[in-house]
Each structure stands twice: as C-alpha cells, then as structure tokens.
Amino acid sequence: MDLLRRVAVVAVLLSLPSRGRSGGGGSDLHPVVLVPGYGSNRLYARLTAAYEPAAPRCGAREGKDEWFQLWPIDAAASEPAQAPCLAEKMSLVYDPVADDYRNVAGVVTRVPSFASTRALVGWDPLVRQLEAMGHRDGGSLFAAPYDFRYAVAPRGHPSAVGERYFARLTRLIERASRLNGGRPAVVVAHSFGCALTYQFLRARPLAWRQRFVKHAVLLAAALGGFAEGMDGLASGAGSGLPNLAPPARTRLARSQQSALWRLPTPMVFGDRPVVVTKNSTYSANNITEFLDAIGFTEGVQPYVTRVLPMWRALPAPMVPVTSMYGVGVRTPETFVYGEAGFEGTPEVVYGDGDGNMNIVSLMAAEKEWSGVEGQILKVVRLPGVSHVGFFSDLALKKVVAEIQKAVSSIEVHRKEKIFSFLNNFEFTIPVPLGW
C-alpha cells in the first residue's frame, strides 16, 4: 500500500460515523449513571392494617393506603408534634435471628422514579450541565436512587433490600450501555453513594466491570467512615429531624443499617481518639466497647458480622477512578464529653476535611490505590469546598470538566484503533520542523 492510499484510508476511516448513537440527542458520549448521597434520595411510604402506631395521631392519614412522601420531610412533618410519628415510620428493625433489617411492621416503602434524574434531590445544577453536554434523561443520563436507611452485607449474610438495589443497578448500567451503542457507562457518585458504588463494583465480576463501567467519578468518597458517625450514634445528631427529642432521635439513628457504615474504620483511623469521656477514650479500634458504653449493645452483632468485614480493607476496584474531595474546611475530629457523659453536649475538636468527612478518610482511596498495577486513579482536591458544596458554582465547573473527560473519549479511542491499524504497515512520513 503506497503512501497516498494509506492517507486515503485514514481520511475515510476518520469520516465514518462512530459506532452507535447516544440516546441523549445524537452525541457520541458514554452514558452517565448518577448515584446520589444519603440525603438526596426520595422515599415514599404507605401504611397497611398491620401498622400499630405508638400514638393514635401517627396512624391517621387522609387517603388511607395511599402512597405519601416520607423523605424529604415537609414543613408539617418537621414540627415537634409530628416528628415522633415520622421517626417511627422511618425506623428500621434488625432481626438477629434472620440477620437482616426490615421496615417497622405495617410500613411499606419504595424509592420512586428509579433510573430517572427526576428522583434526585439537589442535583439539578449538575443535571442541567450534563444536559447542556448533550445527555438526556432516560437516553444517556440515568439515576440510581436507593433507600438510604439500608446498606448491603458481606457474603454469607442476607441483605434483601441492598441485594435488590445492586441487582437493579446492574440492570440499569447494562441498559444504559445497550441504549448507547454498547458503550460502557460512567458512574458519578457522591458521599454515601460512593461507598455503595465501591462495594457494588467489588461485588461484580472483573469482566463485567471492565465491560460495562468505563469510569467512576467519586465525589467526597470517605471510604473509611468519619468521626461524626460515632457522635451520631451517641446523640442521634444528623438524623435529619431537628425537632425530634433526643431519646426518639437516638433510637431512629441507631435503627438504620446505614448508620453503622458511617463509623470510622480501623484500617483508616487506627488509634486516633474520636470520642473522649471522663474515664475512657474510644477510637476506631474499640468500636464494640463504644457501642456498649452508649447503651447500643444490640448494634454490636450487626457491626461485627455485617459491617466490619466489608471495610477491613480497600482493594482497588480495577476500573478507572477520579476521586474529588474538598479540603481546608473545619471538620469535627474528636468529641469530648464532660461530666454529664453521653447525656451532655460534647466539646468538638476540629481538623481538616470537607466539613463532614475527615481528611484521613477522604484520602483513603488515594492512599490504598495509588501504585496498584492496573488501577487508574486521578485525585482532584478542591480547597474550600464543603461536603454539600459540590454542586455550587465553586466546584461545579470542575466536577463537570472531570465528567466530560470521562464521557467524551470515544473519538480518541476510535482514532487510536485507526492508527493501531496503520501501525501494521511500515512507512515513514516526512515531518516538517516545528510541527
């Protein structure tokens, strides 16, 4: 093949349309699947005849047996008189015999609009930016919301809700790929969604990951838990119900399976003091003693058998990852309880992080995966960006830029294949100086 014919081949190949078309308006982009953080999911509920409310007012509701929004809460539900009713409906029950979590009897819940970005709370700024790139909801842009009260469990332990979510996420990613010419998906996750995404990837066969997941963009991926996770179990802080009295607030926080996932992990936090009382100091290495001390003995079994095994190590997911996290924001690091013990308000010692997640946990993936053969990892630190600030103007442009790099490389890959084809021939092309 002479030089002119080779050049003609290049011209023809580069002019050909790419394989398939995105369902989001005809652009050659990889599909995007969004996995939200804890508070960005909607949760609907309905009450059945099996529901026995602690107070009569908690069972009364217009439109009996109809679905209503359980989360996010509306103004009426957040009032002090209604907060206990809401907490009761949102609570979970751990059955040590069945070794699994379930809703309170008579409360049926569902996550609405699975696969659609309409299901997400607070993601509109990012969704609009992705639509401007050519993505369309249900075409090349999808969302995977979940029941944030639940999590998953290690092999050998049942997790009905978590396993069902992973199965739905698997089908969604495969469908996104199928609708977009077989191109693998880019998964974008935030906060608790990063923890779920990481465990999801680890639970899928390597061949499946490499076939269906092109890239994972993790925003504020604290894969080692965080200090506030211990204070939340001690005081009920962070339940999302500010008008709920401490006893009920604490019961709600401790009932949820996902609460135990927030605890700092030994491999990341080690012996760092996280909770300090007059007589004891608790670190990630003595969580079981801490659970006993706060009166949450029923949490010991699920923590030891269902949580700790999943976070003893952080093996690389073996798909390309971009990890973005905020730094330089004052973040709770140690909680010091005084004479009143866990009944009192702790003094807080602050350190670095994103305001919620500690820097040591945000850097866990970077520390564990850097240098792992075959693992592509890019780390982007965002000074001054808080945990909830990823969709603000300060960070949004950088987040979108990283997603765009992940979804837009199909042309590069196509040209690489073309020039790989040309490498089968031996020829030289004179290159002008200064090219």
Q: Give pLDDT, residue 75.
A: 55
Give the separation between CA 117 and CA 74, rounded to whole angstroms: 21
Kindly report the number of other CB atoms within 10 A of residue 211's CB atom. 15
Of 22, 354, 361, 386, catalytic: 354
Of 191, 235, 255, 323, catalytic: 191
Q: Which CATH class is domain 26-41+110-219+389-408?
A: alpha beta
Is the model's pLDDT at 431 over the cut of 70? no
Token look-up 């990283």 returns 402
99 is annotated as an active-site residue: no
pLDDT mean over 22-26: 43
- Return the bridge partners of 336, or none: 276, 347
pLDDT tens-digit series, residues 239-264: 777 778 888 889 999 999 999 999 99
pLDDT tens-digit series, residues 118-143: 999 999 999 999 999 999 999 999 99
pLDDT tens-digit series, residues 306-364: 999 999 999 999 999 999 999 999 999 999 999 999 989 999 999 999 999 999 999 99
191 is annotated as an active-site residue: yes
Question: Does pTM top 0.75 for this prediction?
Answer: yes
How do the domains of the chain map onto residue ranges? 26-41+110-219+389-408, 51-109, 224-354
Of 30, 135, 215, 387, catalytic: 387
What is the distance of C-alpha 394 from the center of its chain? 21
387 is annotated as an active-site residue: yes
pLDDT tens-digit series, residues 144-187: 999 999 999 999 999 999 999 999 999 999 999 999 999 999 99
Cα angle value 286/302/289 (rounded, 5°): 20
Is the model's pLDDT at 415 over the cut of 50? no
pLDDT tens-digit series, residues 380-412: 999 999 999 999 888 999 999 999 999 985 443
Which residue, among 232, 184, 240, has the nearest Cα to 406 in the 3D structure? 184
Give the separation between CA 168 and CA 154, rounded to whole angstroms: 18
